[in-house]
Amino acid sequence: MDKVVETIARLKDITINERELINDWILITYDIPVTEEGKIARSKFLKNAPKIGAMMHSRSVYLMPNTQQSQLAAVELSATVGGEVYVWTSKVEDNKAKKITKFYDESIIKQINYLLNRIQKEEQLTLNGKHGMADRMQRKSANLYKQLLFAAAQRGVSKEVVNKLALIEAKLFGTLE
């Protein structure tokens, strides 16, 4: 494993494996009623989605690596009274695995690029003397970074993701040793 990945994993107390392709996937689609119970269930799922590596495919459709955490999230969501939750699992090979992994990785890269843009805005705010606003943005950026690390831990990482996560780590928290 890359030294940067090892350092990030050790600092954040998570396990990240190198993996170019993912073969086992879960796709969750849901229609949850607009009730108090439905709002709570939806909110809990959406809060935990980044931590289990879920990437939004489209509205109410999430793609994620097939892990115990993603299976548990699907079961919890399906317990909502009046809700309809469908879970598809798939083990794919070769070209299909490449295509799905590419879509998933592109979603992670979009989030990483969004975070890099946030960090650039924070740096500009600091240069303009707006330290309070920059500090508030930095706290949210650090939280978004942790969510991306969880997604990387669930997915395993490609070299491109490792390099971008290392760049974010350095910008947010200083240079890694």
C-alpha–C-alpha distance, residues 37 and 81, integer Å? 8
- Give the model's pLDDT for residue 153: 72
User: In the sheet where 24-31 sits, what is the strand order?
Assistant: 55-58, 61-65, 24-31, 84-91
Q: What is the pLDDT of residues 50-109, one digit of tens each?
A: 878 888 888 889 888 888 888 888 888 888 888 888 988 888 787 888 888 888 888 888
Comparing CA positions, the residue from 159, 75, 175, 163 lying closest to residue 116 is: 163
- Give the model's pLDDT for residue 175: 59
| pLDDT higher than threshold 50 for residue 1 | no
Q: What is the pLDDT of residues 8-58, one digit of tens each?
A: 555 555 555 555 667 788 889 999 999 999 999 999 998 888 878 888 888
What integer is the mean pLDDT of 162-176? 78
C-alpha–C-alpha distance, residues 100 and 148, integer Å? 18
| pLDDT higher than threshold 80 for residue 170 | yes
Domains of the chain by start residue, with CATH: 3-19+94-173 (no CATH), 24-91 (3.30.70.240)
- Give the model's pLDDT for residue 67: 83
Comparing CA positions, the residue from 134, 119, 98 lying closest to residue 164 is: 119
Q: What is the dihedral angle through the alpha carbons of 96, 71, 49, 155, rounded to the nearest 10 degrees?
A: -40
Q: What pTM was estimated for this model as a whole? A: 0.65
Comparing CA positions, the residue from 96, 114, 115 lying closest to residue 104 is: 96
| pLDDT higher than threshold 90 for residue 121 | yes
Q: What is the pLDDT of residues 132-147, one digit of tens each?
A: 999 999 888 988 888 8
C-alpha–C-alpha distance, residues 115 and 72, integer Å? 28
Alpha-carbon radius of gyration of the chain: 18
